[in-house]
Chains A and B, each alone.
Chain A
Amino acid sequence: MSTINHTQDELIDEFGLFEDWADKYEYLIDLGKKLLPMSESFKTEENVIKGCQSKVWLHAEKQGDLVVFQADSEAIIVKGMISMLIRVLSNHTPEEIMKADLYFIDQIGMSQHLAQTRSNGLVAMVKQMKNYALAFNALS
């Protein structure tokens, strides 16, 4: 099992292949399209994180020692961001998730999507992923 930082470094390498922003965004959009579909049964009002412009749904469950996330959004670029966050944080222990420093977002030049705090719900989603880890940690 790859570590959180190892996955982040992989993403930084992948984005490093693109010279201009359009290629990066096409890749991000592609990641969004390939995001594993979230079970409709998890798209509940309880799991929704409301941004000013688009919604994000986030579901977390414990499988053995690991936390597994599923998420979705109405907007494709947000889905691309979600896809990366899940690749980095899902299937790790609560402790690893709680301690994770998500440096890849800045390094691949996508920090603007986490700066627009009101518009897309991503900041709240990252916070919520950590909250789930905290809660699972407290339970175990």
Chain B
Amino acid sequence: MAEKLDLNLIRKDFPILDQQVNGSPLVYFDNAATTQKPHVVIDALHRYYTQDNANIHRGLHTLAERATTGYELTRTKLKDFLHAPSTDQIIFTSGTTAGINLVAQTYGRANFRAGDVILVSNLEHHSNIVPWQMIAEETGAAVQVIPVDELGVLDMVAYQSLLTDRVKLVAVNHVSNAIGTINPIKQMIDMAHRVGAKILIDGAQSVAHFDIDVQDLGMDFFVFSAHKLFGPTGVGVLYGKRELLESMPPYQGGGEMIKEVSFSGTTYNELPYKFEAGTPNIADVYAFGFALDYLASLPQNAVWEQEKALLDYATEQLSQIDGLRIVGQAPEKIAVVSFVIEGVHPQDIGVLLDKFGVAIRTGHHCAQPLMARYDLVGTCRASFAFYNTKEEIDLFVKALKRCLMMLS
């Protein structure tokens, strides 16, 4: 018999959930923007600053040793989390955006030439578009786009035909932040490699929902943010294949990333430190490790079941509302429902739902090219995490109906 999550217990692990907002119990359905943090993460931050705070890697004293050990322990946990071959290939950044910019500015600058092609998809977040446009402008490469169909599924036939030997790099998300589509990344990675292209997978929206095995999947780069994985803000992870990371020039110069510095020349540190210039976000990296432990302690199948149940229930309940249309109906989706309602601007719904204590996201979700594809100014997006409940969906749907009455 499959294990089920005890939601009463789980919700107690996330103290922020137990509060009133504008006089109503908080319903937090903006998990695709950021997830809430369990006690263990909040406690770790507090413990770090009350007991262990010191700068890492250089100091000889006890606190420096503790801080360094705590920071590096998270790297080891991430190696296991991603099934990566070594800790050297786990680079800490400030977030997904920083990871993509790092690859664009180092790998891209060193390898892209005029006439080369960078392939992105129509489903991308701006952070997986703009860094490529910037480096394309500098190098003379061109950014081309894999189209998406009405349901929100990438056109794999078009992808195949776009994959010429001019393609140097493919950059796609694992999961669409705006509409929840799960892309067939295993297949996309294999197809890219067949024409000799490298491929970066933006895992910002997938890490909280799937087991990721970077060796099995075989992508060249994988990036994500801790804060969408129940960890602190300001921490991101870049995984890369060793030979690529070693061949890439450093990104930012400074302390930590050097081996020896003199005015006649400087040699750089080894992986992963070559890409970690300056004092990193030690406290948040340390606390992030506890988010990974927390997730590992949950029965993974029960988490998936819970998210699937929330997606199905929300889809069913919302579909009964007159004039409501779900945007993004890919057969493979995570627990995200993006929708529009005829004659109503998404912003009005967002403002009024907040008054009922319901937090969703409205707008273009930093995916303007996708909104343009569907000729929309934006959508309303409810995104779920395993700590959400069907009762919350009932509150949300009831509040939404009240909002629509007020707006009619």
Contact = CB atoms under 8 A, between A and B. Distances in A.
Interface of A: 21-22, 25-26, 29, 52-54, 74-78, 113, 119-120
B270 interface: no
Contact of A53 (B347, B355, B406, B407): B347
Contact of A76 (B22, B402, B407): B407
Given A25-B355, A26-B406, A77-B352, 15 more contacts: A21-B355, A22-B355, A22-B406, A29-B348, A29-B406, A29-B407, A52-B363, A53-B364, A53-B377, A74-B345, A75-B348, A76-B345, A77-B347, A77-B348, A120-B347
A77 B377 contact: no
Interface in B328-372: 345-348, 350-352, 355, 362-364
Contacts of A74: 345, 347, 377
B361 to A, nearest CB: 10
Contacts of B348: 29, 75-77
Interface in B110-154: none
A24 to B, nearest CB: 10
A74 B352 CA distance: 16
The 7 closest A-B pairs by CB, nearest first: A75-B345, A53-B363, A75-B347, A53-B347, A54-B347, A75-B348, A77-B348
Contacts of B70: none
B99 interface: no
Contacts of A78: 347
B289 interface: no
Given A74-B345, A77-B348, A78-B347, A54 B377 contact: yes
B378 interface: yes
Contacts of B363: 52-53, 119
Contacts of B352: 25, 77
A116 to B, nearest CB: 9
6 contacts: A21-B22, A22-B406, A25-B406, A53-B347, A74-B377, A77-B352
Nearest to B355: A21
Contacts of B407: 29, 76
Could you say which interface size class chain B belongs to?
10 to 19
A25 B402 CA distance: 12
A65 B362 CA distance: 42
Contacts of A75: 345, 347-348
Contacts of A21: 22, 355
- Most interface-central of B350, B351, B377 (chain A CB within 10 A): B351
Contacts of B22: 21
A85 B252 CA distance: 48
Contacts of A25: 352, 355, 406
Contacts of B402: 22
A18 to B, nearest CB: 13
B345 A54 contact: yes
Contacts of B355: 21-22, 25
Contacts of B364: 52-53
B395 to A, nearest CB: 16
A25 B355 CA distance: 10
A106 B365 CA distance: 29
A76 B351 CA distance: 11
Nearest to B352: A25
Contacts of A120: 347
Interface-central residue, B22, B347, B352, B363, by most chain A CB under 10 Å: B347
Contacts of A53: 346-347, 350, 362-364, 377-378
A85 to B, nearest CB: 17
Contacts of A54: 345, 347, 377
A74 B349 CA distance: 13
Interface string B377-408: 11000000000000000000000001000110
A105 to B, nearest CB: 15
A109 B4 CA distance: 44
B348, B355, B406 — which one has the most chain A CB atoms within 10 A of its CB? Answer: B348
A36 to B, nearest CB: 19
Contacts of B345: 54, 74-76
Contacts of B377: 53-54, 74
A29 B406 CA distance: 8
A25 B347 CA distance: 14
A74 B348 CA distance: 10
A77 B353 CA distance: 13
Contacts of B346: 53
Nearest to A54: B347
A122 to B, nearest CB: 11
The CB with the most chain B CB atoms within 10 A, among A21, A54, A113, is that of: A54
